[in-house]
Amino acid sequence: MTTSNPGTGSVDPDVRQELDRLRDSIDNIDAAVVHMLAERFKCTQQVGRLKALHKLPPADPARESRQIDRLRSLAENAKLDPAFAEKFLNFIIAEVIRHHERIAEDTHNGQPAQQD
């Protein structure tokens, strides 16, 4: 995280205004991403509990492969680098699978699955 940046201290007021306007939008987008990710994790936690109860494996590579194909295509249409979109999805899925493994362990050890 950058805490200070002397390079933008004495900038032209019009440039400063444009920078602030763009950064306001970036902050709104970052907030939306966080909220959307939180909702996604709420869903995946429920999937994890369902899988654990029915002794299904935490990961589903066939489903992941379909998601990656779909996301790459969405990214291309949106002019976003598809390789970046794929890496981003894989990063999230890896975390979800870790959650599912933990939920499965807890469930099979007789501990109540965490609610969130």
Ligand X SMILES: C=C(O[C@@H]1C=C(C(=O)O)C=C[C@H]1O)C(=O)O
Residues binding ligand X (CB under 6 A): 44, 47, 59-60, 63-64, 67, 92-93, 96-97, 100
Tell me the closest approach of the beta carbon of residue 10 to ligand X, in angstroms.
46
Give whichever of 44 and 85 is closer to ligand X, judged by the CB atom: 44
Tell me the closest approach of the beta carbon of residue 33 to ligand X, in angstroms.
16
Within 10 A of 65 (CB to CB), how many other CB atoms are there? 10
Give whichever of 21 and 66 is closer to ligand X, judged by the CB atom: 66
- Cα separation, 40 vs 25, in Å, equals 22
Give whichever of 82 and 99 is closer to ligand X, judged by the CB atom: 99
Tokens of 83: 């390789």
Tokens of 76: 């291309």
| Residue of closest CB approach to ligand X | 96
Tell me the closest approach of the beta carbon of residue 116 to ligand X, in angstroms.
15
- Cα separation, 36 vs 24, in Å, equals 18
* Rounded alpha-carbon distances, angstroms, from residue 1 to 4, 5, 35, 110: 9, 11, 21, 41
